[in-house]
Structure 1
Amino acid sequence: MLKAAIILLLLATLVSLFSGLFFLVKDEGRTSRVVNALTLRVTLTALTIALVTWGFYSGQLVYHVTW
C-alpha cells in the first residue's frame, strides 16, 4: 500500500511538472498558474520524501544491496 502511494505521488508530481510547463508556454507569465503548479509540485515532492523516509524508518521499505 505504501509503495502504491509513493508511485501515485510521483505520477502526480510529473503531472504537475508538465502542467506548469504548459501554463508557462500558454500564459507567457501573465497569470499565477505557474506559481501554483510549482507550489503543488514542491508539496508533492516533500510528501513523497516524507513517505519514503517513514517507510524506511518503519521497516515497510527495505533495500537489498547485493555487494
Structure 2
Amino acid sequence: MLKAVIVILLLAVVISLFSSLTFLIRDSSRRSRVVNALVVRVVLSVLLLIVIGFALWSGEIQLRPNPATGL
C-alpha cells in the first residue's frame, strides 16, 4: 500500500514540476503561478520523504534487500 502512495506522490511531484515549467515559459506577466506550483512541489516532496521514512521505519520497504531471499 505504501509503495503505491510513494509512486503516486512521485508522479505528482513530476507533474507539478512540469506545470511550473509551463507557467514559467508561457506566462510573461509577474504572476505568482510559478511560485505557487513550486511551493506545491516542495510540499509534495516533503510529504514523499515522510512517507518513505515511515515505510522504512515500519519495514514495508528496505534499503538493501537481500537478493538471495527475494525480499
Relative to the length of structure 2, the TM-score reads: 0.86
Report the RMSD for the aligned CA atoms in angstroms: 1.3
Deviations 1:7-39 (A, max 9, x none): 000000000000000000111252100000000
Q: Which runs of 5+ in 2 are unaligned?
A: none
Overall identity of the aligned pairs, in %? 47
* Aligned residue-pair number: 66
Give distance in 2, aligned partners of 1:45 and 1:25. 23
Give distance in 1, aligned partners of 2:40 and 2:33. 10
Aligned position for 1:35:
35
> Which is greater in Rg?
2
The alignment partner of 1:28 has SS state of coil
Give distance in 2, aligned partners of 1:60 and 1:11. 20
Structure (1/2) with the larger helix percentage: 1
Deviations 1:21-62 (A, max 9, x none): 000011125210000000000000000000000100111111
**Moved runs in structure 1, 4+ residues, more than 6 A?**
none
Aligned position for 1:2:
2
Relative to the length of structure 1, the TM-score reads: 0.91
